[in-house]
């Protein structure tokens, strides 16, 4: 990005004096720095701690630690948090990704978290990564196609000051990110999902260390108990997790194999392999790169060893160099390189050796196999056996480096065998390790919610506009079946349509997202069951929302409904209270069956259709789908915070009388229909079909869309 800007250039950047794409402006008190990437048209503000203030601190914080990478990164946006993390949208699932990062060192687990975030963005979700730092590997995601759906926010407070939440789910990676994700989810009442790389009992089986002790995991264990879902890296990690925390619900634990950065791997062309092999991991003792040197020392014309990894233990690196000199072996160290550089080295090598005695998953073998390079590892690491099965060449662990040496020698000397393993490697890795495969698998992480609003209407000119306006943003599609049934012919046109302005209001209603589908026919519908079944036949969604033309909702209630549906994917039926307005907007009918929750929202079930009673649905077995039915009771949830505002009895008197005349024609054999509306007085019954009931003052607020209704003025 050019020379380091001087103080004057930081305060007032001049492109003709220094070629920098990142422009920095320091606040007068020196406590914050605004940055702008002119080419990408992105920017933000970062607040500095005491140690980062002043030109040396700014230089280290931005130029060396963070902004050296930002210039190349974004279609995505980097910013600081405000009152919320994302803009609201009913069409997309919005996911917040909490992950701590290092601006200086690679971490396979953190890298995987970003891969998942980009995968979710790639399949159409709106994803916001909340991180304490811009990680060193950000450049590896430059060529990903999902940046338009992804935002990166640097927030060391992990959302503690966020007031307005728009996320549907939050995901966290160990440890701090996961803990904070669960805290955020509980604060805002949304599901939290945690990534899990290993457990203490699993670690103890293979090695010592601070993270092998249960005390290290106390806070994360508490978060795992509270999480809605847990995504371990493999089935074997799920097994150890349930042994460590037997009280967890196995159904919420979903193993998920991570991908490699196949987008970059595919962009690196194959090349003629040199007499080199590769080791790719952290340089710490339990990864055992020294075993490779011991394995190579007895091989004629030994290949050079490329070592890709961070230097975490200088004493251990010194030991490796001394061993190489003793055995006359060539070591080539590659520290803090990009994914592109890494794949160039892998493609130019003959094979990868992965001699670790402990592994959380083992991404490097996936990367090598994807490039058609065979892999050698020990046969006693059970997660490698699960993930890679026989696609790795295993050396016997009991034989130590000699076991590795035999496996390496066979691959280097038997060309036919090498070519066979190379072809098998590519086939396996393309199917299991690619980013495309992971995107496809990620579609099942958050169940889709596609809501089909279904309306059957006749003569609803007084309320249809307000009803549509209240549900338009919420519903993913709106199917309106208009017309009269045979027993309502007396209040329709001769060809079975509304006699008022209902049709023209629907046709002229603004529909910028093409959600509304109007169904009419010449002639009469047999009954309301046929009309509603027509809606079900045409619906594309997986949730069915029945709305009468005189029912109105608060938009904030419907936002809550969508959130509840996403939080409860196993629930079949959702229900809530109804406010049945009586005579005007100041009274509501109460008592009798006015108190009954109406069937309005359910999951689309196989073979769903209406029974003889128009409000009842049945499944393929003929069982009634209802939320208070003793014969068949699907899983249901009452949402007490939601209300429907029903205005069937706040209409002109002729409309009410026609409604009751229809009820008498349809239900007169079983119900005594009485016109309780025409001459009603306080204290008199209100329920026209079941008797009883009364009316009382409405104490709530009308939906905002109703405040412009003529009857509200």
The 3-state secondary structure of 282-297 reads CCCHHHCCHHHHHHHC
Q: Quick one: pLDDT at residue 191?
A: 86
Query: Is 668 among the domain residues?
Result: no
Nearest to 105 by CA among 287, 311, 339: 311
Which residue's entry shows tokens 């499944």? 619
**Shared-domain flag, residues 4 and 66:** yes
Which residue from 618, 588, 565, 537 is spatially nearest to 701, judged by alpha carbons?
588
Contact 99, 178 (CB under 8 A): no
> Structure pTM?
0.67
Q: For residue 59, what are its two tokens?
A: 């230089």
Owner of token pair 């130590």: 400
Three-class secondary structure of residue 613 per DSSP: coil
562 belongs to a structural domain? yes
- pLDDT tens-digit map of 608-648: 877 765 556 766 655 666 555 444 456 788 999 999 999 99
CB neighbour list of residue 122: distance below 8 Å, 6 or more residues apart: 144, 145, 146, 149, 435, 439
How high does pLDDT run on average in the chain?
Answer: 84
Angstrom distance (rounded) from CA 353 to CA 277: 7
Residue 456 sits in the same domain as residue 535: yes
The answer to whether 73 and 44 are in contact (CB under 8 A) is no
Separation CA 453–CA 464 (nearest Å): 13
Query: What pLDDT does 706 receive?
Result: 96
Domain that holds residue 631: 451-584+596-650
The pLDDT assigned to 620 comes to 61
| Full strand arrangement of the beta sheet holding 624-625 | 609-610, 617-618, 624-625
Instruction: Examine the domain organization and report whether 413 and 456 are in the same domain.
Output: no
| Same domain assignment for residues 297 and 421 | yes
Q: How far is residue 67 from each of residues 22, 43, 114, 406, 623, measured CA to CA in Å?
A: 7, 11, 18, 47, 62
CATH code for the domain of 84: 3.40.50.2000
Instruction: List, in sequence order, the alpha helices (H) in 251-307.
Output: 262-267, 290-296
- Whether 39 is in a domain gets the answer yes
Question: DSSP character for 592?
Answer: G
Q: Are residues 436 and 480 in the same domain?
A: no
User: What is the rounded CA–CA span in Å between residue 95 and residue 166?
Assistant: 9
Residue 589, domain member (yes or no): no
Q: Which residue has tokens 């909490």? A: 98
Find out whether 579 and 646 touch, Cβ atoms under 8 Å: yes
The confidence score (pLDDT) of residue 92 equals 66
Q: What is the pLDDT of residue 133?
A: 80
Taking each helix axis from N to C end, the angle separating 415-432 and 435-442, rounded to the nearest 10 degrees, works out to 30
665 is a domain residue: no
110 token code pair = 């953190």
What is the DSSP secondary-structure string of 95-144? EEEEE---SSS--HHHHHHHHHHHHHHHTT-EEEEEESS--TTGGGGTT-
In this prediction, residue 337 carries a pLDDT of: 85
The first and second tokens of residue 190, run together, are 């949304």
pLDDT beneath 50: ranges in the chain: 1-55, 58-59, 62-91, 629-632
The verdict on 192 and 105 lying in the same domain is: yes
Same domain, 109 and 127: yes
396 in a domain, yes or no?
A: yes
Give the number of domains in the chain: 4
End-to-end CA distance of the chain, in Å? 64
Whether the CB-CB separation of 389 and 452 falls below 8 Å is answered with no
352/590 Cα distance (integer angstroms): 75
Domain edge (last residue) among 631, 650, 669 = 650
Nearest to 644 by CA among 563, 581, 567, 707: 581
Same domain, 184 and 122: yes
Query: How far does Cα 527 stand from its chain's mean position?
Result: 42
In CATH, what number is assigned to the domain containing residue 571? 3.90.550
- In sequence order, what are the residues at sequence separation of 6 or more whose Cβ sits closer than 8 angstroms to the Cβ of residue 662? 487, 488, 491
473 and 354 in a single domain? The answer is: no
Same domain, 67 and 206: no
Tell which of 252, 287, 310 closes a domain.
252
Q: State whether residue 485 is helix, strand or coil.
A: strand
Q: What is the pLDDT of residues 235-284, one digit of tens each?
A: 999 999 999 999 998 988 999 999 999 999 999 999 999 999 999 998 88
* CA–CA gap between residue 661 and residue 668 (Å, rounded): 9
The residue count of the chain comes to 713
- Distance, in Å, from the CA atom of 244 to the CA atom of 455, rounded to the nearest integer, reads 51
d(Cα 648, Cα 589) in Å, to the nearest integer? Answer: 11
State residue 149 phi and psi, 5-degree precision.
-100, 10
Report the chain's C-alpha Rg in angstroms: 33
Question: Same domain, yes or no, for 387 and 329?
Answer: yes
Asked if residue 674 is part of any domain, the answer here is: no
Peptide bond connecting 175 to the previous residue in cis, omega within 30 degrees of 0: yes
Q: Is residue 666, in this structure, part of any structural domain at all? A: no
The residues pairing with 141 across neighbouring beta strands, listed in sequence order, are none
DSSP per residue, 528-563: HHHHHHHHHHH--SSEEEE--TTEE--HHHHHHHHH
Q: How far apart are CA 110 and CA 175, in angstroms?
A: 10
Domain identity same for 176 and 46: no
What is the pLDDT, as a whole number, of residue 626? 56
Dist CA 389 CA 411 (whole Å): 18
E strand segments, 600-707:
601-603, 609-610, 617-618, 624-625, 636-649, 694-697
């Amino acid at each position: 990005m050019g020379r380091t800007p001087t103080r004057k250039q930081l305060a007032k950047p001049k492109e003709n004096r220094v070629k920098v794409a990142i422009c920095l402006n320091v606040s007068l008190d020196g406590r914050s720095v605004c940055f702008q990437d002119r080419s990408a048209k992105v920017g933000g503000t970062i607040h500095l701690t005491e140690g980062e203030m002043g030109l040396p601190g700014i230089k280290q914080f931005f130029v060396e630690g963070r902004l050296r990478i930002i210039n190349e990164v974004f279609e995505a946006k980097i910013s600081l948090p405000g009152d919320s993390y994302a803009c609201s949208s009913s069409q997309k699932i919005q996911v917040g990704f909490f992950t701590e990062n290092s601006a200086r060192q690679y971490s396979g687990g953190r890298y995987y978290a970003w891969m998942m975030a980009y995968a979710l963005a790639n399949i159409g979700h709106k994803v916001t990564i909340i991180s304490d730092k811009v990680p060193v590997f950000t450049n590896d995601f430059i060529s990903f196609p999902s940046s338009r759906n992804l935002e990166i926010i640097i927030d060391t407070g992990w959302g503690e000051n966020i007031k307005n939440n728009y996320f549907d789910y939050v995901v966290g990676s160990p440890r701090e990110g996961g803990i904070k994700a669960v805290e955020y989810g509980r604060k805002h009442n949304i599901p939290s999902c945690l990534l899990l790389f290993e457990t203490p009992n699993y670690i103890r089986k293979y090695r010592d260390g601070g993270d092998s002790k249960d005390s290290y995991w106390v806070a994360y264990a508490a978060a795992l108990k509270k999480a809605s879902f847990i995504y371990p890296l493999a089935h074997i990690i799920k097994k150890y997790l349930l042994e460590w925390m037997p009280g967890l619900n196995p159904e919420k634990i979903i193993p998920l194999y991570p991908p490699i950065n196949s987008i970059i791997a595919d962009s690196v062309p194959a090349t003629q392999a040199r007499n080199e092999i590769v080791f790719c991991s952290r340089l710490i003792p339990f990864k055992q790169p020294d075993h490779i040197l011991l394995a190579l020392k007895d091989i004629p014309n030994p290949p050079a060893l490329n070592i890709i990894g961070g230097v975490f233990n200088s004493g251990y690196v010194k030991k490796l160099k001394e061993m190489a000199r003793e055995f006359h072996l060539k070591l080539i160290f590659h520290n803090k390189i990009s994914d592109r550089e890494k794949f160039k080295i892998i493609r130019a090598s003959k094979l990868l050796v992965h001699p670790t005695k402990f592994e959380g998953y083992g991404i490097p073998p996936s990367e090598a196999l994807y490039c058609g390079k065979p892999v050698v590892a020990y046969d006693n690491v059970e997660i490698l056996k699960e993930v890679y099965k026989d696609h790795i060449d295993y050396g016997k662990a009991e034989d130590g480096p000699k076991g590795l040496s035999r496996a390496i020698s066979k691959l280097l000397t038997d060309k036919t065998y090498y070519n066979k393993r190379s072809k098998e490697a590519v086939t396996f890795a393309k199917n299991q390790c690619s980013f495309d495969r992971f995107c496809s698998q990620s579609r099942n992480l958050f169940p889709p919610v596609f809501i089909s609003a279904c309306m059957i209407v006749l003569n609803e000119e007084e309320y249809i506009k307000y009803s549509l306006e209240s549900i338009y943003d919420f519903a993913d599609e709106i199917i309106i079946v208009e017309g009269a049934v045979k027993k309502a012919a007396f209040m329709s046109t001769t060809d079975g349509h509304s006699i008022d302005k209902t049709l023209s209001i629907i046709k002229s209603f603004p529909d910028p997202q093409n959600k509304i589908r109007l169904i009419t026919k010449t002639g009469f519908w047999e009954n309301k069951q046929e009309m509603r079944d027509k809606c079900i036949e045409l619906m594309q969604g997986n949730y069915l929302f029945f709305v009468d033309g005189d029912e109105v909702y608060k938009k904030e209630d419907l936002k809550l409904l969508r959130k509840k549906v996403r939080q409860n994917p196993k629930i079949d039926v959702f229900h809530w209270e109804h406010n049945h307005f009586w005579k005007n907007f100041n009274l509501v009918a109460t008592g009798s069956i006015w108190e009954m929750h109406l069937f309005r929202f359910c999951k689309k079930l196989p073979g769903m259709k209406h029974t003889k009673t128009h409000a009842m649905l049945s499944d393929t077995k003929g069982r009634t789908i209802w939320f208070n039915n003793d014969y068949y009771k699907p899983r249901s949830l009452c949402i007490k915070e939601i209300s429907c505002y029903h205005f069937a009895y706040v209409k002109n008197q002729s409309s009410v009388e026609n409604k009751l005349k229809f009820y008498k024609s349809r239900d007169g054999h079983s119900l005594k229909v009485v016109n309780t509306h025409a001459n009603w007085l306080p204290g008199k019954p209100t329920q026209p079909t079941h008797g009883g009931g009364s009316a009382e003052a409405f104490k709530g607020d009308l939906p905002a869309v109703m405040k412009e209704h003529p009857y509200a003025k």
